[in-house]
Amino acid sequence: MITISVKQPWAYLLCSGIKPIENRTWKLPERYKGQTILIHASGNAMTWQHTLAYIQSLDNSKEILDLFIKNNFNGEWLRSLHVSAIIGSVVFTDCVINHQSEWADKTHMAKLGEYELPSCLYPPYKPIYNWVASAPILFDKPIAAKGKLSFWDFPNIKSEKDEDGKDVCCCHLGIDEKYQVLSYGGGDYRCKYCGGKWYK
Ligand SMILES: [Zn+2]
């Protein structure tokens, strides 16, 4: 499945649904909109100092800092997060600039006559794209993997269509059923990793 590498703690915060925005200097490619994307936590995490400095640079940092205090997110917590592993998945549903979320890195606008335009239109600034994430899933057992730049394929997690057009799990993971399978009731089981149907 298609995977993207994200530094910790952002990878964890995305997959746990706390941070519904991924900020990038490039647009989310149209073909990846609306599909499940695996989140790989890069080998290099942010330092605690850089994490705090980044949050303070956001327009509404207070809400986020309060949330960190409430959840006991601190340097020790950051060091406890998995790195060099696929830790979960999200679906990116949209890509915008200046999303209203407190997690959205804003692109500042400038006046040009009667028009308001992103100040990034003047060099050397660039817009920040806010990728909107939904359907977060945090895996109970992360899968060790080396990261790559941009989007990349992790072949061991995948589903394939059966004759009825339903996605069926075709993962090659060797993970305990206890962690891999989600029950939707009525005998409907799904693989937590690929989202495909699972036959018990
Ligand atoms: Zn699967």
Rounded to the nearest whole angstrom, what is the distance from the C-alpha of residue 181 to the centroid of ligand 1?
Answer: 8
Q: 29 C-alpha vs ligand 1 centroid, how far in Å?
A: 24
- Distance (angstroms) between ligand 1 centre and the Cα of 42 equals 22
- Nearest C-alpha neighbor of 35 from the set 131, 145, 156: 131
| Contact yes or no for 160/154 (Cβ under 8 A) | no
Instruction: Check: CB of residue 193 under 8 Å from CB of residue 171.
Output: yes
pLDDT, averaged across the chain = 92
Residue 37 is given by DSSP the state E
Domains by residue range for the chain, with CATH:
2-154 (2.30.130.30), 156-200 (no CATH)
Separation of 168 CA from ligand 1 center, angstroms?
Answer: 7
- Give residue-wise pLDDT tens across range 47-90: 999 999 999 989 889 999 999 999 999 999 999 999 999 999 99
By mean pLDDT, which of 2-11, 77-86, 107-116, 167-176 is the weakest?
A: 107-116
For residues 124 and 95, which has the higher predicted lDDT (pLDDT)? 95
Compute the distance between CA of residue 41 and CA of residue 91 in angstroms, rounded to an integer.
Answer: 16
Render pLDDT for 8-61 as a digit per residue (tens, 0 to 9).
999 999 999 999 999 999 999 999 999 999 999 999 999 999 999 999 989 889
177 vs 89 pLDDT, higher one = 89
Query: pTM of this prediction?
Result: 0.90
Would you place residue 162 in the very low, low, confident or very high pLDDT band (cuts 50, 70, 90)? very high
- What separation in Å is there between the alpha carbon of 190 and the centre of ligand 1? 8
